[in-house]
């Protein structure tokens, strides 16, 4: 059976009887088994997915199927799915079964999508390489000695290696866009509050977004219009109406004004092939008549420290609920209540999660609250204002999503600071709250994918997806 590059192709073959949902699911299941060494799935819902495929096939024949009928989806192990395991790839939630379904997942099911399994990730979505999982690292499909990016590495490789057509991940500091860039797929982080966070395990609540991986912009746009919008279970979700993002893609060319960072030309930290490929794309845009100007962002050096101060503070608070008392892992080597808390958390959490909890607890402590946390909140507001000023002048800001292509497993694990610096270009969209996307932009000399990041203003996903779709077809 053929490999599908878009859901449109799948839908055409389903409607014309050339393939069935059961055939599709069986093909993805075969790919999951064949590529088990990549360590993408923590649970595969084989029987359930096949039974659901049969139900959807009946709906298609009766012309009663939803708009996502036949779309096979993987979900990152931070999204709740009722009566299924949910662990955030951590031992601290060992044996936990979700009591309800995340709003985003439920909306996929309501439109007849098929959930095929839960995907490996960095523990509690904390990481940039997918090496921090309690279940071992996810491996890159092109070169299994390399990382796929993180924290949603399993979700990215699932799409890249054709184990599912679309994946849902989460993006707190680049955790959808960065692995999308490493793996050569499309990865969207929407505006903060565009998608309900109900059923998403919290890491940094003012940064967390549910994001979408797809093989093409068209698939991402369709999924976004299904899962976005207000939700009675999430008081922070936006009430702004949800456009028909997929219909927007059908519209013709528009005149956009584009900015790109001057660092693209001057920074020694950017891999030469990344610089060259993005520069080539900018020149193609200019040749098409677009305005593209180099701009400076003077606060760039403050974005990463601001993010790590605030995100770790929020993590410290959010992860305090995992104490071994009510659910999940509980240490057996305990003598009293205090030792149960201490040992359960030290044994159940991995080293990176422990590191971020400690950092967050430190910046929230009475002696350092004003010096770090309060100051970082003020800087965050200034960064947002300056970014919004740029986006008032330009439709989009273009930049790399990562300074390098996928690195070797273990290459940066001995130096956490080195790993954190890899998030230099990805965290701005989360600090500011604006939508951003990573699209494929060629390969380096080793054949490893390069990602181009595009940022737009609040709730301008329609414009962002329209432009991204145009760029992916620009040769």
Enzyme catalytic residues: 76, 151, 175
Length of the chain: 475
Q: Which of 101, 138, 114 is nearest to 48 (CA)?
A: 114
What string of DSSP letters covers 285-309? HHHTT-EEEEE--TTHHHHHHHHHH
Cβ atoms 75, 140 nearer than 8 A: no
For tokens 């737009």, name the residue.
456
Cβ atoms 84, 43 nearer than 8 A: yes
Give residues with Cβ within 8 angstroms of 343, minimum separation 6: 324, 331, 333, 334
Evaluate the omega torsion of the peptide bond into residue 151 and state whether it is cis, within 30 degrees of 0: yes
Tokens in use for 230? Answer: 């207000």
Give residues with Cβ within 8 angstroms of 41, minimum separation 6: 32, 74, 117, 118, 119, 120, 154, 158, 163
Tokens in use for 363? Answer: 């910046």
With the C-alpha atoms ordered 218, 474, 178, 181, is the resulting torsion angle positive or negative?
positive
Tokens in use for 435? Answer: 């939508």
Give residues with Cβ within 8 angstroms of 112, minimum separation 6: 56, 59, 65, 66, 67, 68, 69, 70, 71
For tokens 């181009």, name the residue.
452
3-state secondary structure 213-268: EECCHHHHHHHHHHHECCCCCCCCCCCCCCCCHHHHCCCCCCCCEEEEECHHHHCC
The C-alpha R_g of the chain, in whole angstroms, comes to 21
Tokens in use for 189? Answer: 């982080």
Q: Which of 73, 95, 72 is nearest to 84 (CA)?
A: 95
Cβ atoms 182, 147 nearer than 8 A: yes
What b/e readout covers 100-138, taking b as 16+ CB neighbours within 10 angstroms? ebbbbbbbbbebbbbbbbbbbbbbbbbbbbbbbbbbebb
CB atoms within 10 A of CB 421: 14
Cβ atoms 276, 343 nearer than 8 A: no
């Amino acid at each position: 059976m053929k490999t599908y590059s878009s859901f449109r192709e799948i839908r055409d073959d389903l409607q014309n009887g050339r393939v069935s949902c059961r055939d599709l699911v069986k093909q993805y299941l075969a790919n999951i088994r064949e590529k088990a060494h990549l360590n993408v799935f923590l649970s595969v819902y084989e029987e359930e997915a096949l039974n659901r495929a049969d139900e959807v096939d009946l709906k298609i024949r009766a012309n009663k199927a939803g708009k996502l009928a036949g779309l096979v989806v993987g979900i990152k192990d931070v999204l709740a799915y009722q009566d299924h395991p949910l662990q955030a790839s951590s031992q601290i939630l060992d044996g936990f079964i979700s009591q309800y379904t995340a709003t985003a997942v439920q909306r996929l099911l309501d439109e007849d999508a098929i959930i095929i399994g839960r995907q490996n990730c960095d523990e509690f979505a904390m990481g940039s390489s997918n090496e921090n999982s309690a279940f071992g690292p996810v491996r890159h499909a092109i070169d299994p000695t390399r990382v796929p990016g993180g924290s949603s590495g399993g979700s990215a490789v699932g799409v890249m290696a054709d184990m599912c057509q679309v994946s849902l991940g989460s993006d707190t500091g680049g955790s959808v866009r960065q692995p999308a860039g490493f793996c050569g797929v499309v990865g969207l982080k929407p505006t903060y509050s565009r998608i309900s966070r109900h059923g998403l395990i919290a890491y940094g609540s003012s940064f967390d977004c549910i994001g979408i991986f797809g093989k093409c912009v068209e698939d991402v746009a369709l999924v976004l219009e299904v899962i976005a919008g207000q939700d009675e279970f999430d008081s922070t979700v936006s009430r702004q109406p949800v456009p028909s993002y997929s219909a927007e893609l059908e519209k013709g060319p528009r005149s956009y004004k584009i900015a790109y960072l001057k660092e693209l030309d001057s920074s020694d930290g950017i891999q030469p092939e990344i610089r060259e490929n993005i520069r080539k794309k900018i020149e193609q845009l200019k040749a098409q008549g677009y305005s593209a100007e180099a701009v400076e962002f003077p606060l760039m050096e403050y974005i990463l420290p601001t993010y790590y101060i605030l995100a770790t503070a929020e993590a410290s608070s959010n992860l305090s609920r995992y104490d071994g008392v009510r659910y999940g892992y509980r240490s057996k080597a305990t003598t009293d209540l205090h030792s149960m808390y201490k040992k359960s958390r030290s044994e159940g959490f991995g080293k990176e999660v422990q590191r971020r909890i400690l950092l967050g607890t430190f910046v929230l402590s009475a002696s350092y609250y004003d010096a770090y946390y309060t100051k970082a909140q003020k800087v965050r507001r200034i960064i947002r204002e300056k970014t919004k000023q740029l986006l008032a002048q330009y439709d989009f800001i273009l930049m790399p999503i990562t300074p390098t292509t996928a690195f070797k497993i273990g290459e940066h694990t001995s130096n956490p600071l080195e790993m954190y610096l890899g998030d230099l270009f990805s965290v701005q969209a989360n600090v500011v709250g604006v939508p951003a996307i990573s699209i494929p932009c060629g390969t380096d000399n080793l054949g490893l994918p390069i990602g181009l990041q595009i940022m737009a203003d609040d709730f301008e996903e329609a414009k962002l997806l329209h432009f991204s779709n145009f760029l992916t077809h620009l040769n």
